[in-house]
Amino acid sequence: MSDTKIIRDGVIVADDWVLLPTGYDAAFPSGKLIVPLNIFVSRQAELTARTECTGVWMEGHDDLTPISNLIEGLPLIAIHFPKFTDGRGYSTAVLLRTRYSFKGELRATGEVLRDQLFYLRRVGFNAFAVRADKDIVDALKALTDFSESYQASTDQPAPLFRRRATHAPGSAA
Amino acid sequence: MYKYDSIDQQIVDERVAQFRGQTERFISGELGEDEFRPLRLQNGLYIQKHAPMLRVAIPYGQLSSTQVRMLAHIARKYDRGYGHFTTRQNIQFNWPKLKRVPDILADLATVEMHAIQTSGNCIRNTTSDQFAGVAHDELIDPRPYAELIRQWSTFHPEFAYLPRKFKIAVNGAIEDRAGTLFHDIGIHTVNDVAGNVAFRILVGGGLGRTPILGHVVREALPKQHLFTYLDAILRVYNRFGRRDNMYKARIKILVKELGLEKFRAEVDAEWAHLKDGPATLTQAEIDRVAAYFVDPDYAVLPTIDAGFERHLVDHKAFARWVERNVFGHKKSGYAAVTLSLKKTGVAPGDATDAQLDAVADLADEFSYGEIRVSHEQNLILADVKKRDLFAVWQRAKTIGFATPNIGLLTDIIACPGGDFCSLANAKSIPVAEAIQRRFDDLDYLFDIGDIAINISGCMNACGHHHVGHIGILGVDKHGAEFYQVTIGGSQGLQAALGKVIGPAFAQDEMADVVEKLIKTYVALRHEDEHFLDTAKRVGMEPFKASVYDKKAGRREAEVAHV
Ligand code: SF4
């Protein structure tokens, strides 16, 4: 287990996964692994033979179809944000959660900063590998920036207008 | 107009707190400039030439007198005593201090206003017809739907980091006064064959570097599907829009590259999953929002008011103002009044704190306490009794907002340009002023008739120069400010893009150029023929000849020196 801390389900925890870099071509180490998408596909047989958990990481613009029938059973998917202003990962997250019924850990990696966490959580991320130079305790605060939202999204499938009549301000998750 | 409930208010208040924290972290150095930039932009804050510029949202152009007084207060307290109304129905303050911006937002929040998503690569403030709800040619009041879209787009978590900015306009009248053909999404509220409210959805229009008219992507979308269909369009754009080149990142380029059919198929495939899901609008929600846009308590008045008719005869200046600045109302005995912010010598769209306060008073006295902003950068009192028009005119004169020039040549649309904007190639305001000064004869202006002159300081086209009958675009020529001229552009349902007439001109030539173009028109027009129709009939040549003839030799000589 590494000393790296992540936010998972609103709590700061030690990261018990190892993320393999792109182009990784050595034998797989033991432990829980997050494998780049293309390696996950090309060395699928090797990975299935492992007894430990394997997750996959991808870019926000990667095509999900090569792994579409595996997604539902995965324990972890990480989406890498090369820049925090690249919003494609938000739509990918929504698709994973709603179209592919992905229930495992959905982790944001790369340029993950405090001021994006609220929206990331809304679209379905539940884990955040906050960029190493940033204060993760500080970042955690962003999850409570807003107590209510208008739209339907992964964290709240009913839009505000379907809840408005019965809603007491401040009572939402 | 729409009133916040406790949840709407709480969301805006929480936004203020969030931005206060972000600003403090930026000032303390915790947040870098690159990290802060998208955050401040999504709160309307630019760093401009002289100072920050704050753009405040005026959703679909509607303001209460209380809100207008708050804008006056902000101009006075945090700025240099004026604000600038933009071509997207917003207001900009040019001189706020960065550290005071959270205080400004807090003040705005007390009157249900904000600067949310007035800039940045997100869904921008939704715009509409300035005469929505009162226009004589309206089919369906678009305001409830514009408000619903405001709420749907506010902090939409999936679409806060789009490839580029995204603008939506809604129109519900026969005439298109919202420029829907030039928006990323244009929406027409229409009746379907069964007589139910539906939406014609246009996509991929826009000005800027690659001006394109929008295409109809869906003819009659039943109203309950509004959000799911918009979600589908935005998702396709967010995933597949280009991010490698900011000049090719707008949705219009995606639509062009895929082709309309393929784009529509992508949207439909996405929509198939969303349709009838939880985001489907309920009639209860439509009714809840529509209840804020019911007619005020109109008096029953005769169509003809004797006093008003008498004033028309007695006061030529009043009659002229009525001819240009008064617009037909759906209710007999009422009219909509446009207050002109295009007085010669004042930057188009600028208003001082005192003027704003005075307009708020006028609205309270004569127009149910409401004010509209038009994308032509003027202010509107939408519900004035005809019998009050004379009094309103007199009061508007004392404010300086009674110039009888709506739709005339001096009602120039201009962006802030090089005087304020750091993206500008050239200044806009002095060009507007030079043209206004040249055309100072009111009889001549009335004789010329409807002419839209639009000026943008650069390709970003905030002054919508492509759709000006005469369009003026600031360009950079070897470090000097020059102006390219187009003719034949127009807005509305017959929207067209202007064509460039030839090489660009220097700033001090511009008033001459416009004068020659107008003289050419006046000489060639048939009786009652509009500028655009003359231009179409006679073609570009006579106009070209009028402005390039004698100087062609001089220009070549100039070029030879470079
Ligand atoms: S058109 Fe250009 S110069 Fe004018 S306001 Fe827009 S960006 Fe600035």
**Residue A3, pLDDT score:** 79
Q: Evaluate if residue B558 carries a pLDDT over 50.
A: no
Distance, in Å, from the CA atom of B133 to the CA atom of B399, rounded to the nearest integer, reads: 26
**Residue B550, pLDDT score:** 62
Q: Evaluate if residue B505 carries a pLDDT over 60.
A: yes
Question: Is residue B182 located within the same domain as residue B324?
Answer: no
- Relative to beta strand B326-328, strand B334-339 is antiparallel
**Residue B50, pLDDT score:** 66
**Cα dist. A86→A59, A111, A123, B334 in Å?**
10, 10, 15, 51
Q: Is B423 in the pocket of ligand 1 (CB under 6 A)?
A: yes
Beta-ladder partners of B490: B496
Nearest CB to A145: which of B18, B156, B279? Answer: B18
Task: With respect to residue B521, please indicate whether it lies within any of the assigned structural domains.
Answer: yes
From the number of C-beta atoms within 10 Å of its C-beta (0-12, 13-18, 19+), residue B65 rates as: buried
Q: Are B507 and B427 in contact (CB under 8 A)?
A: yes
The predicted-structure confidence for B519-549, as pLDDT tens digits, reads as follows 999 999 998 899 999 999 999 999 999 999 7
Q: Are B377 and B355 in contact (CB under 8 A)?
A: no
A134 φ, ψ (degrees, to nearest 5): -100, 155
Distance, in Å, from the CA atom of B377 to the CA atom of B421, rounded to the nearest integer, reads: 17
Question: Is residue B388 located within the same domain as residue B482?
Answer: no
Q: Are A37 and A67 in contact (CB under 8 A)?
A: yes
The predicted-structure confidence for B446-471, as pLDDT tens digits, reads as follows 999 999 999 999 999 999 999 999 99
User: Packing angle between helix B389-399 and helix B316-325, nearest 10 degrees?
Assistant: 90
pLDDT band at B493 (very low <50, low <70, confident <90, very high): confident
B120 φ, ψ (degrees, to nearest 5): 90, 175
Q: Are B170 and B190 in contact (CB under 8 A)?
A: no
**Residue B49, pLDDT score:** 66
**Residue A104, pLDDT score:** 97
Which CATH number fits the domain that encloses residue B75? Answer: 3.90.480.20
Q: Which residue's structure tokens are 């038009």?
A: B374
Complex ipTM: 0.94
Task: With respect to residue B1, please indicate whether it lies within any of the assigned structural domains.
Answer: no
List residues of B whose CB lies inside 8 A of any A CB. Answer: 5-7, 10-11, 14-15, 18, 22, 31, 35, 38-39, 121, 151-152, 154-163, 227, 235, 238-239, 243, 273, 277-279, 281-282, 284-285, 288
Distance, in Å, from the CA atom of A43 to the CA atom of A67, rounded to the nearest integer, reads: 13
Q: Evaluate if residue B153 carries a pLDDT over 60.
A: yes
Non-local (6+) Cβ contacts of B524 within 8 A are: B534, B538, B542
What is the average per-residue pLDDT within B262-278? 98
Non-local (6+) Cβ contacts of A168 within 8 A are: none
Q: What is the 3-state secondary structure (H, E, C) of B428-478?
A: CHHHHHHHHHHCCCHHHHHHHCCCCEEEECCCCCCCCHHHCCEEEEEEEEC
Question: Is residue B180 located within the same domain as residue B272?
Answer: yes
Question: Is residue B148 located within the same domain as residue B276?
Answer: yes
Domain boundaries defined on chain A:
5-147
Residue B167 belongs to what domain range? 127-292
Ordered DSSP codes for B363-419:
HHHHSTTEEEE-TTS-EEEEEEEGGGHHHHHHHHHHHT---S-TTSTTS-EE--GGG
DSSP state of B530: -
Distance, in Å, from the CA atom of B83 to the CA atom of B76, rounded to the nearest integer, reads: 10
Q: Whose CA is nearest to atom 6 of ligand 1?
A: B462
Q: Evaluate if residue B483 carries a pLDDT over 60.
A: yes
Beta-ladder partners of B338: B380
Residue B458: count of CB within 10 angstroms of its CB = 23
Nearest to B431 by CA among B390, B463, B401, B402: B463
Tokens of B80: 């240099």
Task: With respect to residue B366, please indicate whether it lies within any of the assigned structural domains.
Answer: yes
What is the average per-residue pLDDT within B294-318? 95
Q: Which of B13, B121, B148, B238 to substitute to test the interface with A, most A CBs within 10 Å?
A: B238
**Residue A166, pLDDT score:** 53
The predicted-structure confidence for B250-264, as pLDDT tens digits, reads as follows 999 999 999 999 999
Three-state DSSP class for residue B323: helix
What is the average per-residue pLDDT within B59-77? 98
Largest CA distance in chain A: 58
Task: With respect to residue B467, please indicate whether it lies within any of the assigned structural domains.
Answer: yes
The predicted-structure confidence for B155-175, as pLDDT tens digits, reads as follows 999 999 999 999 999 999 999
What share of chain B in percent tops pLDDT 70? 97
Average pLDDT, chain B: 94
The alpha carbon dihedral of B403, B407, B408, B413 has a sign of: positive
Task: With respect to residue B198, please indicate whether it lies within any of the assigned structural domains.
Answer: yes
Count CA atoms closer than 13 A to B545's CA, side-chain side.
Answer: 8
**Residue B559, pLDDT score:** 39
Residue B32: count of CB within 10 angstroms of its CB = 11
CA of B423 from ligand 1 middle (Å) equals 6
Tokens of B430: 């002095």
Distance, in Å, from the CA atom of A22 to the CA atom of A39, rounded to the nearest integer, reads: 8
Decide if B11 and A161 are in contact by the 8 Å CB cutoff. Answer: no
Nearest to B431 by CA among B455, B452, B410, B450: B455
Decide if B235 and A91 are in contact by the 8 Å CB cutoff. Answer: yes
From the number of C-beta atoms within 10 Å of its C-beta (0-12, 13-18, 19+), residue B365 rates as: middle
**Residue A2, pLDDT score:** 60
Question: Is residue B33 located within the same domain as residue B102?
Answer: yes
Nearest to A11 by CA among A123, A126, A153, A117: A126
Question: Is residue B356 located within the same domain as residue B467?
Answer: no
How far is the alpha carbon of A113 from chain B, nearest alpha carbon, in Å? 9
Q: A5-147 adopts what CATH topology? A: TIM Barrel (3.20.20)
Task: With respect to residue B114, please indicate whether it lies within any of the assigned structural domains.
Answer: no
Question: Is residue B53 located within the same domain as residue B21?
Answer: yes
**Residue B561, pLDDT score:** 39
Question: Is residue B275 located within the same domain as residue B343?
Answer: no
What share of chain B in percent tops pLDDT 90? 91
What is the average per-residue pLDDT within B131-142? 95
Beta-ladder partners of A56: A35, A77
Q: Whose CA is nearest to atom 2 of ligand 1?
A: B458
Question: Is residue B458 located within the same domain as residue B390?
Answer: no
Tokens of B235: 């998702």
pLDDT band at B556 (very low <50, low <70, confident <90, very high): very low
Count CA atoms closer than 13 A to B180's CA, side-chain side.
Answer: 27
Q: How far is CA B193 from the centre of its chain?
A: 32
Q: Evaluate if residue B508 carries a pLDDT over 70.
A: yes
Nearest CB to B6: which of A90, A119, A169? Answer: A169
Ligand 1 atom nearest B474 alpha carbon? 3
Q: Are A166 and B33 in contact (CB under 8 A)?
A: no
Which CATH number fits the domain that encloses residue B228? Answer: 3.30.413.10
Beta-ladder partners of B206: B212
Tokens of B296: 């005020």
B453 φ, ψ (degrees, to nearest 5): -105, 125
Q: How far is CA B68 from the centre of its chain?
A: 18
Q: Are B349 and B51 in contact (CB under 8 A)?
A: no
Q: Which of A115, A136, A137, A166 to substitute to test the interface with B, most B CBs within 10 Å?
A: A115
Is the minimum CB–CB distance between A122 and chain B shorter than 8 Å?
yes
Q: Are A31 and A75 in contact (CB under 8 A)?
A: no
Q: Is B473 in the pocket of ligand 1 (CB under 6 A)?
A: no
Task: With respect to residue B332, please indicate whether it lies within any of the assigned structural domains.
Answer: yes
The number of distinct structural domains making up chain B is: 4
Q: Are B89 and B60 in contact (CB under 8 A)?
A: yes
Tokens of B210: 């690659």
Nearest CB to B282: which of A85, A162, A167? Answer: A162
Sequence-ordered strand ranges (E) for B157-311 = 168-171, 185-191, 197-203, 215-222
Question: Is residue B363 located within the same domain as residue B254?
Answer: no
Is the minimum CB–CB distance between A143 and chain B shorter than 8 Å?
no
Instruction: Choose the final residue of a domain: B292, B327, B347.
Output: B292
Q: Evaluate if residue A167 carries a pLDDT over 50.
A: no
Instruction: Choose the final residue of a domain: B372, B398, B424.
Output: B398
Which residues in chain A have Cβ-Cβ distances shorter than 8 Å to B154? 150
Q: Render the burial of A113-126: b for 16+ CB within 10 Å, e for the rest.
A: bbbbbbbbbbbbbb
Non-local (6+) Cβ contacts of B178 within 8 A are: B127, B128, B129, B142, B169, B170, B171, B186, B375
Instruction: Choose the final residue of a domain: B259, B292, B325.
Output: B292
Q: Evaluate if residue A168 carries a pLDDT over 80.
A: no
Nearest to A123 by CA among A99, A93, A150: A93
B171 φ, ψ (degrees, to nearest 5): -135, 140
Tokens of B93: 């303050």
The predicted-structure confidence for A63-122, as pLDDT tens digits, reads as follows 999 999 999 999 999 999 999 999 999 999 999 999 999 999 999 999 999 999 999 999
Q: Evaluate if residue B290 carries a pLDDT over 70.
A: yes
Q: Which residue's structure tokens are 């929206």?
A: A119
Question: Is residue B351 located within the same domain as residue B272?
Answer: no
**Residue B491, pLDDT score:** 87
CA of B456 from ligand 1 middle (Å) equals 6
Tokens of B537: 């009939």
The predicted-structure confidence for A114-163, as pLDDT tens digits, reads as follows 999 999 999 999 999 999 999 999 999 999 999 999 999 999 999 999 99
What is the average per-residue pLDDT within B345-349? 92
Non-local (6+) Cβ contacts of B256 within 8 A are: B204, B212
